[in-house]
Every structure is written in C-alpha cells, then in structure tokens.
C-alpha cells in the first residue's frame, strides 16, 4: 500500500520503541519522576523527554530525509508541515498521567504517516511487556513474553454484548450520552493508546472517544488496529480518522471498532 515505507523498518521500529521504553523505565524506577507542567496544563516528565531523545535520534539514523513530529517538539509551522508527503509521528510517552500514577498503562507510540493516513505503527507498553505493531499491507502482531501473536486474535465475546473501552483518566460527558444509546454493554477502563490495542486483541469491541485527543495520541495505535482489520471513523462523518490535513493537531471525535465487530 505504501510507496515509501519499507517492510524491514517495522522490526527496527520495534527495537527503537523498546529502547525508548528502557529509557522510560530507568526513570520509572526512581522516586522523582521529574514532573513539570506544560503551558497547556498537561504534565510532562523526565521520561517523556528521555524517550523523545532516543526515538528522534534513532529515526534520524534510520531515515535521515524523513521529518519527525513529536508531542515534545510541536513548534513545526503548518506552512512547512502541510507539504510533507510522509513523516514520523510520535508520542514518546502516551499516558503520562498513568505513568505518574505508576499503574503501568502507558506506551511508546511511533507511527509512519503517508499522505493523510497512518500506514504503520508500533505501540509498546514496557511495564506490561507488550509490543503491538503493524503495517496496513502486511498485518499486525503482538509481541509478548517472547511470543509473537498474529492479530486480530479470535473473538472471545460470545454474548454479543459490546465491551466498550473508556479512558482511565479522561472521562467525557459525550461518552455518557453515547453509552445511553448503546443499550446493554460492559465497560472497560484503560489508559493511553492501549484502548485501541484491546480492540485489536479481541478483548473489546468499541472505543468511542468523544473528547479531545491529538494526532500523536492516536496514529500508531490506529495503524495497528487498521492493520488488524479494525476501523477508526470520525464520529460525525464516518470518514476514516486522518492526519496532517489542517493547521491544528487536535482530532475530531471518533469511534474505533474491533475487526470482529460490525
């Protein structure tokens, strides 16, 4: 599907994400996480910055001519970015609030964007020892405890009552209204981009995000889920969630669906 992305990059991205995860865990083990507050009142830690440095340095070695956009380097002008045909979009530590809470539900996210689409992505959860990765034309996998599992896994929901994934730290009024329309359901709460990964794993069916996210929050996990056969659609239009099509980096509301859910 991609004219630019090389299949051999996927394994290298897993290695890069793992190295970034090691940098995060070195700080996770300390008493002082180095937490400061950014201008938008969101937290950032020493681990965010350490992971950012690892990923940017390694991607520069892998693809020196492909630009990188990171949550921790957001000063790229739209007039420059709008002309990018492809680029790396990263969130060095997705789920900073989960990291600060020390609940393990945080990830390293690395995505490759071509045109307006997330073509490939890696989502690595170092505490859980789970690495989800995929590319649209070749499929998706989960690497865990030394095993590599092809995604999607078999549907384990025999009741057909949808298992809805919600945010651990970012509840929204829109979600409550959406759930009232669903009827019977089961709710699962988890942090970071792991919500998409639960769908790819066959452990949940629907992830409605009726609250604000940024493009780096979703790209890698969307690539994994879509590589596994799932869908991520804008809530108001049912158009696929896309990237680098406007000056701001906020996503519209969206609904993600597991591969096995119609």
Bridge partner list, 147: 144
Confidence of residue 74 (pLDDT cuts 50, 70, 90): confident
What percent of the chain has pLDDT above 90?
74
| pTM, rounded to two decimals | 0.94
- Determine the pLDDT at residue 182: 85
Instruction: Describe the strand order of the beta sheet including 107-114 as a list of residue ranges.
Output: 68-70, 86-94, 107-114, 117-125, 130-135, 139-144, 147-151
Mean pLDDT value across residues 214-242: 97
> Distance between CA atoms of 130 and 157, rounded to whole angstroms?
22
Location of structure tokens 């690539």? 223
Confidence of residue 219 (pLDDT cuts 50, 70, 90): very high
Confidence of residue 3 (pLDDT cuts 50, 70, 90): confident
- Determine the pLDDT at residue 260: 85
- Determine the pLDDT at residue 31: 87
Chain mean pLDDT for the chain: 92
- Determine the pLDDT at residue 101: 92
Task: Give, in order, the Cα–Cα distances in Å from 33 to each of 90, 104, 237.
Answer: 21, 14, 41
Task: Indicate if the pLDDT at residue 174 is higher than 80.
Answer: no
- Determine the pLDDT at residue 18: 98
| Burial (CB count within 10 angstroms: exposed 0-12, middle 13-18, buried 19+), residue 250 | exposed
CB-CB neighbours of 28 under 10 Å: 18
Q: 3-state DSSP call for residue 12? A: helix
> Distance between CA atoms of 106 and 96, rounded to whole angstroms?
7
For the record, the structure tokens of 187 come out as: 């709710």
Q: 3-state DSSP call for residue 223? A: helix
Provide the Cα torsion 198, 20, 128, 42; round to 10°. Answer: -70
Instruction: Describe the strand order of the beta sheet including 186-190 as a list of residue ranges.
Output: 186-190, 163-167, 206-209, 254-257, 231-234
- Residue scoring higher pLDDT (22 or 43): 22
Separation of CA 33 from chain center: 22
Confidence of residue 44 (pLDDT cuts 50, 70, 90): confident
For the record, the structure tokens of 105 come out as: 């539900």
- Determine the pLDDT at residue 250: 96
């Amino acid at each position: 599907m991609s004219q630019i992305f090389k299949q051999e990059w996927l394994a290298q991205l897993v290695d890069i994400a793992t190295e970034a995860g090691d940098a995060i865990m070195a700080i996770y083990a300390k008493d002082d996480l180095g937490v400061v507050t950014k201008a938008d009142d969101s937290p950032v830690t020493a681990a965010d910055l350490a992971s950012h440095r690892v990923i940017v340095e390694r991607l520069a070695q892998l693809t020196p001519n492909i630009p990188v956009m990171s949550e921790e380097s957001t000063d790229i002008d739209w007039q420059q970015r709008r002309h990018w045909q492809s680029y790396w979009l990263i969130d060095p530590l997705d789920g900073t609030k989960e990291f600060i809470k020390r609940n393990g539900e945080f990830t390293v996210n690395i995505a490759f964007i071509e045109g307006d689409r997330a073509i490939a992505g890696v989502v690595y959860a170092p505490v859980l020892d789970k690495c989800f990765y995929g590319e649209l034309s070749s499929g998706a996998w989960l690497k865990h405890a030394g095993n590599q599992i092809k995604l999607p896994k078999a549907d384990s929901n025999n009741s057909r009552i949808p298992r809805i994934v919600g945010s651990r730290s970012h509840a929204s009024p829109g979600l409550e209204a959406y759930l009232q329309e669903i009827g019977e359901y089961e709710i699962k709460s988890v942090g970071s981009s792991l919500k998409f990964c639960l769908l790819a794993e066959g452990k949940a069916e629907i992830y409605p995000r009726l609250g604000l996210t940024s493009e780096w929050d979703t790209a890698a996990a969307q690539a994994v889920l879509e590589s596994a056969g799932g869908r991520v659609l804008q809530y108001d239009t049912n158009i696929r969630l896309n990237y680098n099509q406007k000056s701001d980096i906020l996503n519209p509301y969206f609904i993600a669906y597991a591969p096995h859910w119609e």
